Amino acid sequence: MSSPTTTATPRSSAIAPPARIISRRRRDNINGWAFAAPFLAFFLVFLVWPLLYGFFMSMTGKSLTGANDSLIGFANYAEALADSDMWRSLGNTLYFTVISTVPLVLVALVMAALLNVGLPAQWLWRLSYFAPYLLASTVVSLFFTWMYNPQLGLINDSLSKIGLPKVAWLNDPNVAMWAIVIATLWWTVGFNFLLYLAAMQNIPAQHYEAASLDGAGAWRQFFSITLPQLAPTTVMIVLLQVLASLKIFDQVYQMTAGGPSGSTRPVVQYIFETGFTGYRLGYSAAISYIFFGLIVIVSVLQFFIARRRSA
Amino acid sequence: MATQSLTLPVPEATAPPAKVQQPRRKFPVGKTAVTTAAAVLAVLWLIPFAWATVTAFKSETDAASPKVSWVPPSGFTVDAFAKVFQDGNIPLWTWNSLYTSAAITVITLVISALVAYALSRIDFRGKKILMTVIIASIIIPPPVLMIPLFYQMVGLRMIDTPWAIILPQVIHPAMVFVLKKFFDQIPRELEEAAVMDGATRMRIFAQIILPLSRPILAAVAIFVFISAWNNFLWPFISTNDGSILTLPVGLQTIKSAYGIQYAQNMASALLAALPLILVFLFFQRQIIKGVATTGLAGT
């Protein structure tokens, strides 16, 4: 507190008495932290503390039964890095992220572009594309588990009606992840669609007027005006989508429980299982931090790619 | 929003006469193709709802029949809904979801708006560090915290209480950022008169800033409410007691309890989906605007 007072005094003494300046600064300091205090309290107790405590846990052999709290250094990390199940689940998460992000961005773009042409009854289209986003994961999983049912499901029935072979959607290790991707696409594409639609409607109409005066058709306008104008939005949507996809857990846990034979189990489920089914809290905390490290790396990478693009 | 999108076809129509013929012939074809494509997507996106609805109104025998039908042989029935209501859990879970989500939304709004105001308007020591820490924390994925948070909740004896569901969900650093950005755009002149009159910060915040921020507060509230209402992982971990389960978690238990009762499964799923869908039908414009403004919060 003393240093700002001494620097402030000589500068402003000619204008106002120093005492008032001191009190103004102090008041701002007090007010600022007072306004921040409620958020900060929750932030420290329910975010910072578990984050630090989790790191501490990852250095212990802690289990849900409370036994063995002793510090064991990085032993959990060493074990995790040699754990093929951990790598497999991490691989599943990355695989899902890659194969889900592409359709989740492209289909959203197509939906927004179609509506942006100016179809009548906008609300009806928006409702149908966006409504699934309002559902809880469990509702989505119930819907799709039922539609994917091998014998009684709507999808296999439709396939056989048009002469195609039935698919064991959630029971075939080669197909299950794609089945999850389809359900996820249906569920969350509406969110990206809304972001794209909002961005498209912010493109000034003059751009299109000028282009059509030059004789550019609808396709041409889409590729030379709409897409370039949307570039920053696309970067953001991809970034958010990748981060969201990396956290995949709900749909998989509910639809396949990670199966068949671990082919869909994502890393969050592996953390969940080592912690709550295997009772190995310390080990599970260590895997959490490896996962966190992955998220940080991906975010930083994306940030730099986005910056280079916009530069 | 609608008016803006409707202006798009206009340039085509006002194109110079020499080129009128081409777009005119092309345009209807393009419009038909666009409508068809949009309709195909809309149908695909509505099928899961339609199929769940049809199944929910079938008898269990028809639902489990290998002959898949849109119109069941023995007619539609509300048996499945009646059974689901008899079990009596869906209304309870809906209530649990409602009050926990409402509490999360209110607490989040209050604490986020307060800190956002400080970050936007007050020059206090450590403000830059605080801002940096809050923005950096956006990156922390909730699943990373689930293990230590669970252990912490056991220590606080909050497991199986509504507090376990509510308290950890009120921290939305991205929403603080959204609010701060909005407050930054409110002209400072509006506050100066109040400052001259010696109004306290709290009065300025409550009487000048908040009333001007209604749209963004609504947007944040909508976003927070939807995420709390649909959150699965944390409520799933922090509750076991059937009487305080939220809808998404309760549905998960139904799946194992009912097993192959397909009509009942679909009836439960539809009942769980209904509240937010109804709210959406009534407040479509606000919800869409809200999601669009808060959605890119990471920027």
Nearest CA in chain A to B70: A154
pLDDT the model gives residue B64: 80
Closest CA to B275 of B224, B229, B223: B229
The fraction of chain B above a pLDDT of 70, given in percent, is: 87
Contact criterion met (CB < 8 Å) for A127 and B145: no
Distance, in Å, from the CA atom of A248 to the CA atom of A245, rounded to the nearest integer, reads: 5
State the average pLDDT over residues A27-49.
93
Q: Is B7 on the interface with A (CB under 8 A)?
A: yes
A32, A122, A236 member nearest B5 (Cβ): A122
Closest residue in A to B235 (Cα) is: A250
Round to whole Å and give the CA distance between A161 and A248: 33
pLDDT of residue A123: 83
**Tens-place pLDDT, residues A202-247:** 888 888 888 888 877 778 888 888 888 888 889 889 988 998 999 9
Q: What is the pLDDT of residue B165?
A: 93
Determine, for residues B66 and A151 on separate chains, whether the beta-carbon distance falls below 8 Å: yes
Contact (CB<8Å) A138/B232:
yes
User: Can you tell me the distance from the alpha carbon of B11 to that of B5, in angstroms, rounded to the nearest whole number?
Assistant: 12
Alpha carbons B87 and A253: distance in angstroms, whole number = 25
Q: Does B259 contact A at CB distance below 8 Å?
A: no
Using CA coordinates, name the residue in chain A closest to B285: A123
A-chain residue closest to B53, CA distance: A143
Tens of pLDDT, residue by residue over B28-45, are 557 888 888 999 999 999
Whether residue A2 is predicted with pLDDT greater than 50 in this model: the reply is: no
Give A119 to chain B, closest Cα distance, Å: 7
Question: Distance from A173 to chain B by nearest Cα, in Å?
Answer: 22
Q: Does B148 touch chain A (CB under 8 A)?
A: yes
Nearest to B257 by CA among B118, B87, B120, B131: B87
For residue A298, the chain B residue with the least C-alpha distance is B139
Phi, psi at residue A71, to the nearest 5°? -70, 135
Q: Chain B residue with minimal CA distance to A43? A: B171
**Is some CB atom of chain A closer than 8 A to the CB atom of B122?**
yes
Q: Is B243 exposed, middle or buried (0-12, 13-18, 19+ CB in 10 A)?
A: exposed
Query: If we measure between CA atoms, which residue out of A89, A171, A218, A195 comes closest to residue B22?
Result: A218
How far apart CA A250 and CA A240 sit, in angstroms, is: 18
Best residue in B21, B46, B147 for a mutation probing chain A (most A CBs within 10 Å): B147
Which DSSP state fits A209? H
How many angstroms separate the CA of residue A302 from the nearest CA in chain B?
12
Q: Are the Cβ atoms of B45 and A132 closer than 8 angstroms?
A: yes
Nearest chain A Cα distance for residue B186, angstroms: 18
Cβ–Cβ gap A154/B51 under 8 Å: yes
User: Cβ of A198 and B66 within 8 Å?
Assistant: no
φ, ψ of residue A208 to 5 degrees: the values are: -70, -35
Q: Which of B101-110, B125-134, B238-247, B287-296 has the lowest mean pLDDT?
A: B287-296
pLDDT at B14 over 70: no
Query: Is the pLDDT assigned to residue A190 strictly greater than 70?
Result: yes
Q: How far is CA B90 from the centre of its chain?
A: 20
Q: Which residue has the tokens 């001191």?
A: A22
State the best of B10, B45, B69 to mutate against chain A, taking most chain A CBs within 10 Å. Answer: B45
Distance from the B238 Cα atom to the nearest Cα atom in chain A, whole angstroms: 11
* Per-residue pLDDT tens digits for A191-201: 999 999 988 88
CB contact under 8 A, A275 and B170: no
Distance from CA of A81 to the nearest CA of B (A): 17
Instruction: Please check the confidence at residue A14 and state whether its pLDDT lies above 80.
Output: no
Among the partner-chain residues B45, B66, B248, the one whose CB lies closest to the CB of A186 is: B45
- Model confidence at B19: pLDDT above 50: no
Q: How far is B9 from chain A (nearest CA, A)?
A: 7
Residues B272, A136: C-beta atoms closer than 8 Å = yes
Peptide bond into B215 cis (omega under 30): no
Site from A55, A89, A142 to mutate, B interface, most B CB atoms within 10 angstroms: A142
Q: Which of A34, A138, A211 sits opposite B252 (nearest CB)?
A: A138
Burial A246-263, CB ≥16 within 10 A → b, else e: bbbbbbbbbbbebebeeb
Residues with Cβ within 8 Å of residue A227, at least 6 apart in sequence: none
Q: Which ranges of chain A would DSSP assign to H, the alpha helix? A: 2-12, 18-43, 49-58, 75-81, 84-116, 122-130, 137-147, 154-161, 176-201, 205-213, 218-221, 227-246, 250-255, 267-276, 281-310
Nearest-CA residue of chain A relative to B117? A35
CB contact under 8 A, B147 and A288: yes
pLDDT tens across A235-287, in order?
889 988 998 999 999 999 999 988 788 899 999 999 999 988 878 888 999 99
Distances (CA, A) of A49 to B149, B156, B236: 9, 13, 21
Whether A57 sits inside 8 A of B64 (CB atoms) is no
**Angstrom distance (rounded) from CA A1 to CA A311:** 41
* CATH number for domain B86-298, candidates 1.20.1290.10, 3.40.50.12280, 3.40.50.970, 1.10.3720.10: 1.10.3720.10
CB of B227 within 8 Å of a chain A CB? The answer is no
**Distance (Å) from the alpha carbon of A259 to chain B's nearest alpha carbon:** 17
The answer to whether B112 touches B104, Cβ cutoff 8 Å, is no
Cβ–Cβ gap B48/A197 under 8 Å: no
Interface confidence (ipTM) of the complex: 0.84
pLDDT at position B45 is 95
In this prediction, residue B297 carries a pLDDT of: 60
Q: Which of residues 22-81 of B touch A (CB under 8 A)?
A: 23, 26, 30-31, 34-35, 37-38, 41-42, 45-49, 51-52, 55, 63-66, 68
CATH 1.10.3720.10 positions along chain B are 86-298
pLDDT, tens digit, 9 for 90 and up, residues B216-270: 999 899 889 999 999 999 999 998 887 889 999 998 888 666 567 888 889 999 9
Residues of chain A with C-beta less than 8 angstroms from the C-beta of B110 = 38
